[in-house]
Structure 1
Amino acid sequence: MGSTVGSFRTPEGVTLGVEHFGDAAAPLVLLVGGTTMLSWPDSLCEALARGGRRVVRYDLRDVGASTSVDPGNPAYTLRDLAADAAALARGLDERPAHLAGIGVSGMVAQVAALDHPESFAALTLVGTRPVAPGPVDDDLPDHDAEMMQRRFALPMPDWSDRAAVEFAAAAAELRGDDPGTARATAERIFDRAPSTEPGVQPANQLNLVFAGLDCTPRWRERLPELRIPTLVVHGRRDRFFPVGNGEALAREIPTARLLVLEQAATAIPDAAADEVAAAMLAL
């Protein structure tokens, strides 16, 4: 199934890189990049499109084909990223969209659904948690300590060299994801990065935007306000955001259903794409 790449300019003047799958007249499923659009596998986008949805995945600011200014020092906030999602949804379809976030972009999706309820009719949260990057609440499981120690022991590569994608494969294996798939995705991310300037590739490959992003105020206590159909998807083997985080989201969002992928970690494996798509289409 083919796709079309393009861009969308928000009312605030931010350009977002986008890719479209499926019938442009079909109900919209908007996939927030986590941080690049390639965090959403082609297999899932295609399965959703076959299920009668218009699927649009997009890059967050400072990565991929979106506006990039200073990835290491974002002058915008989590609320601004949430507003981008709402503006994109309204710009693509007058009907409320099904919004989905994965990993750190699941935080964007939660805030967008809370702050812009008129823009969204359903919500999918994949491999994420109900608090911002940094110290977690006492009842939430933090990153696996051994995994993080081994991850930070990996020598940082020269990101001007395409061979640096081996770092992404090694880090993915530590997280429990398939290194071959991660390597192929990292190669695509490398080739889509807007320049070879220092800092650009690490921002695209390592989600560094969230290291300096203002994510205040907290939103976890507002989750019971969500009344739209919600799917929480989490990999049983996720060592970065352990599954207890997804379980907490499913408990605190009144309309949520939890889908645990027993053989998955942080990424959605191609083998699980049809199962995840079916659950999303059922919302």
Structure 2
Amino acid sequence: MEKSEEKYVSSGPLRLWTESFGYQQDPTVLLVMGSAAQGIGWPDDMVEVLVAAGRHVIRFDHRDTGLSDWVDFTTHPYTLADMAADAEAVLDGYGIDRAHIAGASLGGGIAQWLGAHRPQRVLTLTLIMTSPMGNEAGPAWARAVAGLDPDPGELPPPDAALIRHFMSGGHEEGADETWRLLNGEAVPYDGAAARRFVEASLKRARKPGSEAQHDLAGRSMTEDRRAPLSSIAAPTLVVHGAQDPLFPPRHGQALAEAIPGAELAVVDGMGHAFFSPGLPRRIADLMVGHTQGR
């Protein structure tokens, strides 16, 4: 693994843990992780490929995760826009005006928000296993739980087995089973890597359980999230798994169709996780090609 530098940056009253790799004079790739996941969720293999290709890479812990500060959501609720402001604060903390922004899952929504509302900070967007930031998933979930078909024109709900797992509280009882379901069965699942990530995350967590508040922020459909994705001018790559059980492929297709000139890369067998051998490097190669010369 490349030598890294860890430091804290300020986002308003909050301190956020960050880690950078490579040389700051190289183009920066800011990696924005998904809901309830720490920055270390971006695999080292992916970082290595990016740095070897001449990229300066930054990953960070969202508020309420890892070594970053936690928030009392009851008294200080926050939204996707606040999490996007945290991502901007990370760039500010490194003195970086513009960067290639890559977001996974909820991080992809944050990246879209930056592309729509802070275009001056964005060189390119890479949106991985995510959905349009204005998509309100709750009604589709409710209909799926009730055994009803989706409404016409509605983006599809998660896989039925995954919904049963979440509704039964299985995600709270065993993280390994959750990651196995998210990975899917079409590609190998590296359970040992998933367990190492879960164990490392527990050791690093300043306030275990606070990461669940990301779900509250993610479900808050504020007006700024309804900004037209057609306003995004940054060159955009949408990377989506052909077997994604949380956001079925139609989500990635809808996202690519909404952003002018966006390229859609559907990865055979990929689910909603990075825990399949070789997959992080494959995605990193796509990111290298997308950011090359931009």
TM-score range, shorter chain: 0.7 to 0.9
The answer to whether the 8 A contact 2:24-2:56 is kept is: yes
Aligned to 1:172: 179
Aligned to 1:193: 205
CA–CA separation in structure 2 for the residues paired with 1:21 and 1:281: 15
Aligned to 1:184: 196
Aligned to 1:2: 3
CA–CA separation in structure 1 for the residues paired with 2:252 and 2:234: 17
1:149 aligns with 2:154: no
> Scaled by the length of structure 2, what TM-score is found?
0.83
The answer to whether the 8 A contact 2:182-2:273 is kept is: no
CA–CA separation in structure 2 for the residues paired with 1:270 and 1:22: 24
The answer to whether the 8 A contact 1:142-1:241 is kept is: yes
CA–CA separation in structure 2 for the residues paired with 1:180 and 1:203: 25
- After alignment, is 268-277 or 97-106 more displaced? 268-277
What amino acid is the match of 2:3? G
Structure 1 residue aligned with 2:108, among 106, 109, 114?
A: 106
Aligned to 2:23: 23
Q: Deviations over 1:41-100 (max 9, x none)?
A: 111111111110110011111111111122677522211111221232233244410011
Alignment of 1:68-87 (within 5 A): 68-70=70-72, 75-87=77-89
The answer to whether the 8 A contact 1:72-1:209 is kept is: no
Unpaired runs of 5+ in structure 2? 141-150
The answer to whether the 8 A contact 1:133-1:211 is kept is: no
SS in structure 2 of the partner of residue 282 of structure 1? helix
Structure 2 residue aligned with 1:279, among 265, 271, 286?
A: 286
- After alignment, is 209-218 or 243-252 more displaced? 209-218
Q: Deviations over 1:215-247 (max 9, x none)?
A: 412635510111111111111111011111011
Seen in structure 2, the aligned counterparts of structure 1 residues 124 and 229 have a Cα distance that, compared at 3 Å, is same
Structure 2 residue aligned with 1:118, among 89, 106, 120?
A: 120
CA–CA separation in structure 2 for the residues paired with 1:228 and 1:255: 9
1:240 aligns with 2:252: no
Structure 2 residue aligned with 1:217, among 220, 223, 231?
A: 223
Note the C-alpha offset of 1:155. 4.9
Q: Deviations over 1:188-209 (max 9, x none)?
A: 1111101xxxxx42344xx442
Seen in structure 2, the aligned counterparts of structure 1 residues 155 and 126 have a Cα distance that, compared at 3 Å, is closer
Structure 1 residue aligned with 2:139, among 119, 127, 135?
A: 135
Alignment of 1:34-53 (within 5 A): 34=34, 35-53=37-55
Corresponding residue pairs, total: 267
Aligned to 1:67: 69
SS in structure 2 of the partner of residue 234 of structure 1? strand
- After alignment, is 142-151 or 54-63 more displaced? 142-151
Note the C-alpha offset of 1:263. 2.3
CA–CA separation in structure 2 for the residues paired with 1:240 and 1:77: 21
Seen in structure 2, the aligned counterparts of structure 1 residues 86 and 215 have a Cα distance that, compared at 3 Å, is farther
Unpaired runs of 5+ in structure 1? 158-163, 195-199
Note the C-alpha offset of 1:110. 0.8
Aligned to 1:197: none
Note the C-alpha offset of 1:132. 4.8
Aligned to 2:13: 13
- After alignment, is 55-64 or 148-157 more displaced? 148-157
Seen in structure 2, the aligned counterparts of structure 1 residues 156 and 115 have a Cα distance that, compared at 3 Å, is closer
Aligned to 1:160: none
The answer to whether the 8 A contact 2:64-2:213 is kept is: no
The answer to whether the 8 A contact 1:97-1:122 is kept is: yes
The answer to whether the 8 A contact 2:241-2:272 is kept is: yes
RMSD (Å) for aligned C-alpha atoms: 2.3
CA–CA separation in structure 2 for the residues paired with 1:257 and 1:220: 22
